[in-house]
Amino acid sequence: MAIKGIFLTLLRRPIFWKLIRPLLRLYVSKERNKPFTIWVDFLAETMESLWRRSKPIIWINSFFPVEMIYSLGGQPFLPELFPAVVAYFDWTRGPLLRGSEKTSTDLCSFYRCALGLLEYGVIPKPDLIVTSSQICDGTKAFYDALSYVLGVPHVFIDVPHADGEKAKVYLRKQLLEFLETYQERFGGSFNPLPLFNAQRAGNLMWEIAELRKAVPTPFPGTEGMSYVAGMAFWANGTKKHLKFLKALKEKIKAKVDRSQGYLPKERFRVLWLHHIRPYYPNPIFEYLHSRGVAIAYEEVNYPWWPRGRFENWMEYVIEKMISNPWHGPIQRRAKLVEELIEGYKVHGVIHFCHWGCRQSTGGAGIIGEFVKKKGIPYLLLPGDGVDPDNYSPGQTLTRLEAFVEVMESKWKGGQV
């Protein structure tokens, strides 16, 4: 217990993160994965900044444009993303139990875990919460409750489903009100550079998405769903994200130039739907890879917003929020799924459905029908992103194995 206490105390000290940062960098650089090293360095740098508390700490949800917070001079924190990092170390059981003491066990495990981590004191309390209606259904209720408990204001941005001029006016008004609230509360000047950096990042993400269409699959979607998505949600707008994307692009391009896949022998390429995957240790991807199944692309990294440069940063933010394919009519997502199936030449689609997450399960039936009509095998895979106790290895593997068997029958043993 004493060791645990010391460890938890250490995690709250900025000096701990400052000292450990070069060591972590050195340790992960052994993997010779430059983008991953940048991600780890970003995390350590962010934790140091959070615990130094020299900037206002702003809790945001995943689809709120993080670049706006950097432009305002705030330090963003994503309670929806951080539990995935904790799950990677298989440390979510304790926080999940602790979080369940405060709320219903029906609440999404990412939120419960974040609540538990807050109770443990390993994540800093916010100075302000700002979230958008994209894309989790539980977002508003959870952050409203948290706002009440912590005595911290919660600004909620209601993104309209329509994308016409009226919708843009409605969204612009809310974003301007948020800027006003922020500056009244914390002062500081507005630096548009992170918003322009984010636009450059968007263009790089497009280039990477194009490179990843190569056959055989040059980059594992499993990594796409972890640190690549982590950087996109948390670091977008920073110079570090640009550096990260350039390194990632180089790494993928080198593979494409050599026509080298990430698996020794690729038999099938699949598309992974949903923004998350199970992050705790599990045999799902090891099994798929052992059967020659490559995760060719993952929905989460699709850069949906328009390419190019917006002179007016507000227009960029509005376009980005309003064109989100996971928000609004299901046809938007179906169109995206179609584009990804064709673009990445996949043999199958795995639709992960996180327990407690109504966002993905809600449209699963319609998306499933849509995929099957295109003659592509589709697997609905229920599970949990961060709760290892909500995961049945036997049942999950049976589903995956049967899905591979279906692909083998459909595609006559596999093809590249």
Q: How many CB atoms lie within 10 A of CB 139?
A: 22
- First vs last C-alpha separation in the chain: 52
409 binds another protein (CB under 8 A): yes
What span, in angstroms and rounded, lies between the C-alpha atoms of 361 and 317? 28
Report the nearest approach of another protein to the CB of residue 370 (Å): 14
| Residue from 82, 380, 386, 387 binding another protein (CB under 8 A) | 380
With contacts defined by CB under 8 A, name the span among 188-196, 221-229, 258-266, 388-396 that binds another protein. Answer: 388-396
290 binds another protein (CB under 8 A): no
| Residue from 106, 365, 389, 415 binding another protein (CB under 8 A) | 365
Question: Is-contact 370 333, C-beta < 8 A?
Answer: no
State the amino acid at position 254 in one-letter form: A
| Residue from 5, 187, 264, 394 binding another protein (CB under 8 A) | 394
388 binds another protein (CB under 8 A): no
State whether residue 269 is helix, strand or coil: strand
Residue count at the site for another protein (CB under 8 A)?
17
| Residue from 406, 411, 414, 416 binding another protein (CB under 8 A) | 406
Footprint (CB under 8 A) of another protein, residues 329-358: none
393 binds another protein (CB under 8 A): no
State the amino acid at position 275 in one-letter form: H
372 binds another protein (CB under 8 A): yes
With contacts defined by CB under 8 A, name the span among 32-40, 136-144, 233-241, 393-401 that binds another protein. Answer: 393-401
Q: Is the backbone peptide bond immediately before 376 cis, with ω within 30 degrees of 0?
A: no
Closest CA to 349 of 291, 280, 297, 410: 297
State whether residue 314 is helix, strand or coil: helix
Report the nearest approach of another protein to the CB of residue 394 (Å): 5
Taking each helix axis from N to C end, the angle separating 239-257 and 34-52, rounded to the nearest 10 degrees, works out to 170
Report the nearest approach of another protein to the CB of residue 179 (Å): 44
| Residue from 31, 158, 389, 405 binding another protein (CB under 8 A) | 405
| Residue from 24, 382, 414, 416 binding another protein (CB under 8 A) | 382
Report the nearest approach of another protein to the CB of residue 132 (Å): 30
Residue 400 DSSP code: H
What span, in angstroms and rounded, lies between the C-alpha atoms of 25 and 301? 25
Backbone angles phi, psi at 58, to 5 degrees: -115, 115
Q: What six digits make up the tokens of 196? A: 């322009």
Q: Which residues bind another protein (CB under 8 A)?
A: 365, 372, 377-378, 380, 382, 390, 392, 394-395, 398-399, 401-402, 405-406, 409
